[in-house]
Structure 1
């Protein structure tokens, strides 16, 4: 007897195998975060299940025919640098499907994070053929992605050079130190630049997977997958979670600059900030770029919006008053800037904070 999905495909005049196949390689390393490697396998399996015409979420997007037209099938292979089982960061063995060198063309390569952070990443000379394999796959059109400390594998392979990238907030400075030619962005949840994807914290493999599902299968496929897995589809900036002043404790100039912006009675320009720190504008720009990757104007904006977050943390905080205290004379401009920074409106942020504190 045919399965319900086979019957639906038959009614459409096509076999179930007619769905386009997207091949995904999950490349694991010793000391990997086990949930990252195994969880990626699970989430792509859920993507396949969620996008069958008989899926519980399929009816939300129309007929079975419409679902079929939009759906893809993900074929996932796990791999290691030697084809052998991995020892994860907790000392347990994880079996893999293949030796990475035995894998040819694929649509995407995903690298989960590592428990011991950047210190667990093999150097470029140790990666050797694996680094060359990653570069080759990217040159042939594969999207290459890493989450958390897995981003450092991309760095060692030379794929971050002259590209915007991110990692978890507490490894940002190490990423900048190791790969000065990369354009490392602090606080971003996920960045794709020229087919190279980097994602933030230890659990950002979820964001990375949904991004890849969306990229390879489309927004509807990603939405149905997120609904099926009961996870959030949009990503939030890491600025929502990183301890306040984390970046600015790295160097006294940052602390002094932050204080100057916070104490300014009105909106502050880069010229005024440089003058308050007894620096030339050129020197201020150079030092802020080296420390944070930000131009003075961007630093000022981020500091003002961090201040807004602090003010909005208070019960019954007024969005209008918060905008004024942070140097915004136009409330709508403040709302747009805050939404771009935090990934949600000021009002939504207040509800989000209240829910976390409940």
Structure 2
């Protein structure tokens, strides 16, 4: 957690792009990190795009991108992001790494955070950065990533992974979740939520959520779990059970579970726990309330229960989390 730049300036994010880049993935990085601000509108990140060789770069669309920076930009990076490119979609290309890209990655400073979006994970794997680490990629490419790089622990069922400073994400939309996850870890839930609101995207989808959601947007007129989710968010502090949510959705518990998974990629209780954890994080960042009181307001019941969830999901205690963003008490 909290990998903000050790210097006085903003955290420096450098995106390494390659020929045939997907413009949307590049835009995600600039939009999300570029809109993260602190007190007084102070930019929290500086975002730079570089290529193994600067100049005009082809995309997978009918326009090009003029990249002003070469690989030297990576030498001062706090975070390096590698989005996908068209070349990733040819199996003959995935098992090798172009020498210019390999030389560029060699410039990444020790200790810098490294991340990929979609099949950009093949670049990290080819460079040996995913050896012995848990990683993911687009669900269509997970089997191939596992075959080409058996030393990588490939998880096809998640939106993003984080393992010892190296992060990977699934398809394009999961890149949004990954960037918000990094912003949240650097500067807290409030900053990440503000970025999400400005971008009009969900503020938080946990990394363990399923990649493939069968019905992300219910068909017009179709029954939905939206009413149950709205009710849950308004009553987080209460001891909710499946029967409560099923009643609000006007469906059986079994039907609720099936449709919840189809619409959100998570079971009702797993989704509810994630929302409570998100609310608890905001309370810890904003207030000086005791941990037990925060646990009650977030619906965990006791501080002990909340501590268990914090350690399982975030790897830290609530008190340590608060100290990270509010200073030691």
TM-score bracket, normalised by the shorter chain, equals 0.5 to 0.7
The within-5 A match list for 1:1-358 is 20-48=9-37, 51-53=38-40, 73-115=44-86, 117-119=88-90, 122=93, 126-134=97-105, 137=108, 140-235=110-205, 239=210, 241-242=212-213, 316-319=250-253, 336=269
Name the SS for the 2:21 alignment partner.
coil
Structure whose CA Rg is larger: 1
- The structure with more helix, counted as a fraction of residues: 1
Range moving further from structure 2, 18-27 or 124-133: 124-133
Structure 1 CA distance, aligned partners of 2:272 and 2:88? 31
Paired residues of 1:77 and 1:97 also in contact (CA < 8 A)? no
Q: 1:241 to 1:125 in 2, by over 3 A?
A: closer
Range moving further from structure 2, 168-177 or 97-106: 97-106
Name the SS for the 1:85 alignment partner.
strand
Deviating beyond 3 angstroms after TM superposition, the runs of 4 or more aligned structure 1 residues are 115-118, 120-126, 320-323, 334-340
Shift in Å at residue 47 of structure 1? 1.6
Name the SS for the 1:110 alignment partner.
strand
Name the SS for the 1:41 alignment partner.
helix
Paired residues of 1:87 and 1:93 also in contact (CA < 8 A)? yes
Q: 1:219 to 1:177 in 2, by over 3 A?
A: same
Paired residues of 1:210 and 1:226 also in contact (CA < 8 A)? yes
Structure 1 CA distance, aligned partners of 2:272 and 2:254? 15
Paired residues of 2:131 and 2:151 also in contact (CA < 8 A)? yes
Which runs of no fewer than 5 residues in structure 2 stay unpaired? 1-6, 216-245, 258-266, 277-329
In the superposition, the TM-score normalised over structure 1's length comes to 0.55
For the aligned residue pairs, the C-alpha RMSD in angstroms reads: 3.4
